[in-house]
Amino acid sequence: MMLSVKNLKVCYGKIEAIKDVSFDVPDGKIVTLIGANGAGKTTTLRALSGLEKCASGTVTLDGRNITNMEAHMLVPLGIAHVPEGRKIFPTLTVKENLELAGWTVKNKKEVKRRMEEVFSIFPRIKERASQLGGTLSGGEQQMLAVGRALVTGGKLLLLDEPSMGLAPVLVDEIFEQIVSINKKGTTILLVEQNAAEALAIADFAYVLEVGYTTLNGTAKEIEANPRVREAYLGV
């Protein structure tokens, strides 16, 4: 199992944002976590990548307990978090944004190689290599954010609503790239409000409701679940 989360609880001060969340992400698969606004999707990912502290529960990565390790220590272990809102460095160029993602990689030739790979996946990013990050469009910023995660060399990609604010054509493009990145061997945990798109590409799915994981199964099973169809697929 690539990632295993057991009874995770995360608090912001006195507020329990995540109360009891458990799920597994098998090697090489795409797992999606779907849920409404405020369900705790972002908080879950932030806890996994070390940006928030866990109040209780355990997180294991490849059998190693990584609960409450610091974010910068988790990057070399293979956690690559593409955060909500993309968080591109606005006054660094596209190229500098990507170079920084290679911060923990000793071999700078390898960083160059990964950057070339990102450029071949997202040619649009290559065209804008010397442009400032803040001047990119929303879709381009999303590509750059995924690109940075790839340059870190992550083996587990945590994607927080990659479709947010994008035109439908772009959403399709991004999702296609997610599938192709996964095919090349990267495991993916995808958080989405856009449940239909997410379920279409995922192997397994979990439903997150007000801080609890309430349903789980294969993506097909979840897609067929009447409650899910009503609440998240608008059918």
Partner 1 sequence: MGSIFNAQQIVNGLQVGSIYALIALGYTMVYGIVRLINFAHGDFYMIGAYAAYGAFYLFNASLGGKTGIVAFLVLAASMAASGAVALLANKLAYKPLRYKPKLSSLITAIGVSMFLEYFFSALPVIGPSYRSFPEIIPRTDITVGGAIISNYVVIDIAVAAILMVSLTLLVRKSSLGKAMRAVSQDKDAARLMGINVEKIISFTFLIGGAFAGAAGLLAGMTYPRIFPYMGIQPGLKAFIAAVLGGIGNIPGAVLGAYIMGLAETFASAYNSLIGEGISFAILILVLLIRPTGLLGEKTADKI
Which of 161/223 has CB closer to ligand ATP? Answer: 161
189 touching partner 1, by CB under 8 A: no
For residue 81, report the phi and psi dihedrals to the nearest 5 degrees: -105, 120
Q: Which stretch binds partner 1 (CB under 8 A): 24-32, 98-106, 118-126, 223-231?
A: 98-106
Residue 26 tokens, joined: 């098998």
State the amino acid at position 91 in one-letter form.
T
55 touching partner 1, by CB under 8 A: no
Q: Which stretch binds partner 1 (CB under 8 A): 10-18, 80-88, 180-188, 224-232?
A: 80-88
42 touching Mg ion, by CB under 5 A: yes
What does the DSSP assignment read for 75-128?
Answer: TTTTEEEE-TT----TTSBHHHHHHHHTTT-S-HHHHHHHHHHHHHH-HHHHHT
Which of 183/227 has CB closer to ligand ATP? Answer: 227
CA gap 169, 179 in Å, rounded:
16
Residues 54-93 that bind Mg ion (CB under 5 A): 84
How deeply is 9 buried, as exposed, middle or buried, from its count of CB atoms within 10 A (0-12, 13-18, 19+)?
A: middle
CA gap 125, 77 in Å, rounded:
26
Binding mask 2-41 for Mg ion (x = CB under 5 A): ---------------------------------------x
CA gap 231, 35 in Å, rounded:
9
Please state the closest distance from residue 123 (CB atom) to ligand ATP, in A: 30
Q: Which stretch binds partner 1 (CB under 8 A): 81-89, 119-127, 181-189, 211-219?
A: 81-89
Which of 15/70 has CB closer to partner 1? Answer: 70
| 77 contacts 121 by C-beta, under 8 angstroms | no
Which of 8/17 has CB closer to ligand ATP? Answer: 17
